[in-house]
């Protein structure tokens, strides 16, 4: 099976940079395309007296710009087609939606940097749903 379209989640953490590097390497080998995505996670809502108060998004424009510049530069150096997008919402869901839009052959994510979480919430959710082939990079 050829891997032509790859979605990779990136958030600026070391595991996400390794996941991005793996996605780019696969795209070079398979002559594919990389769709990098940063998702501003909405942690949920805090219940306050029966009402829900939305929690602000995690992330800022400066880090988004830094990630966009990094992705664009790395894709150019590797001569790989691709793009960078920012979304907000639940991370695993947004990555799956992008994978659907791009008709992705593979979704690549980094393992959590927190050893107590083992795989981490996002990889665990993606693997549990089983909608796309998933590569979890340590």
| Structural domains present in the chain | 5-41+57-137 (3.40.50.620)
Locate 46 and state its tokens: 């805090």
The radius of gyration of the chain from alpha carbons, rounded to an integer in Å, stands at 15
Locate 35 and state its tokens: 């769709």
pLDDT of 20 above 80 = yes
User: What is the pTM (predicted TM-score) of this model?
Assistant: 0.82
Q: Quick one: average pLDDT of 123-131?
A: 89
Locate 132 and state its tokens: 């796309």
Tell me whether residue 72 is exposed, middle or buried, using C-beta atoms within 10 angstroms of its C-beta: 0 to 12, 13 to 18, 19 or more: middle
Identify the weakest region by mean pLDDT among 23-37, 96-110, 124-138: 124-138
H-type helices in the chain, by residue range? 14-30, 61-78, 91-102, 121-129
């Amino acid at each position: 099976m050829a891997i032509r379209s790859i979605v990779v989640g990136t958030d600026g953490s070391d595991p996400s940079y390794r996941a991005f590097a793996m996605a780019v390497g696969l795209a070079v080998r398979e002559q594919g395309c990389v769709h990098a995505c940063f998702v501003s996670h909405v942690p949920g809502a805090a219940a306050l007296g029966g009402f829900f108060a939305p929690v602000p998004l995690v992330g800022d424009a400066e880090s988004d710009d830094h990630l966009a510049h990094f992705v664009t530069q790395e894709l150019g150096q590797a001569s790989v087609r691709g793009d960078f997008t920012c979304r907000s919402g639940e991370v695993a869901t947004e990555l799956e939606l992008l994978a659907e839009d791009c008709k992705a052959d593979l979704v690549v994510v980094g393992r959590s940097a927190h050893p107590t979480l083992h795989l981490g919430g996002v990889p665990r959710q993606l693997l549990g749903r089983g909608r796309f082939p998933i590569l979890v990079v340590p």
